[in-house]
Amino acid sequence: MVCNTPSVVQAEAKELVGTIGSSQEYTIPLLQEIQRRHSYLPRDLVEAVSKETGIALSHFFGVATFYSQFRFKAQGTYVIRVCHGTACHVAGADLISTLITRELGIEAGETTQDGRFSFEKVACLGCCALAPVLMIGEKIYAKLSSSTIKALIKEYTGGKA
């Protein structure tokens, strides 16, 4: 859902606050629900929630910038997360990230121009025995190599890598 008109945004803000709560203790749950619905924090919706709750906009943005879980830009259809924990680092996570950058033409923290892929480096995916690993959406890919990366990109692009 794209926030576009003030009435739609205000209605969503009112519904969010009515469902979650309006006191400052609900700042994180409100931000999490906004991001769950939109994949990022649309400024117009955060502003509307701020007005609806009476909580300062600066408080919402202070919390959102403190925690790395929150994003201010829409993510791609497919979010690729490459593990850079110790086991994955030792097993070649840097090479995996370099290959993704080369194949997609984006650096970590970026999204392809067509909006299809976002790429992130993460601290740990909890699959150390399967290193190196990456996650696309909710699916884990393990024991990666340069050839498996190329095949994965082809799989998600329909062969147009």
Asked whether residue 33 falls in the same domain as residue 10, the answer is: yes
Global pTM reads: 0.72
Q: Which domain holds residue 61?
A: 6-66
pLDDT tens digit sequence for 53-98: 999 999 999 999 998 889 998 889 999 999 999 999 999 999 999 9
Determine the Cα–Cα distance for residues 15 and 134; give it in Å rounded to an integer.
36
Task: CATH number of the domain at 98, please.
Answer: 3.40.30.10
List the pLDDT tens digit at each of the 161 positions of the chain.
454 688 999 999 999 999 999 999 999 999 999 999 998 999 999 999 999 999 999 999 999 999 888 999 888 999 999 999 999 999 999 999 999 999 999 999 999 999 999 999 999 999 999 999 999 989 999 999 988 999 999 998 886 65
71 is a domain residue: no
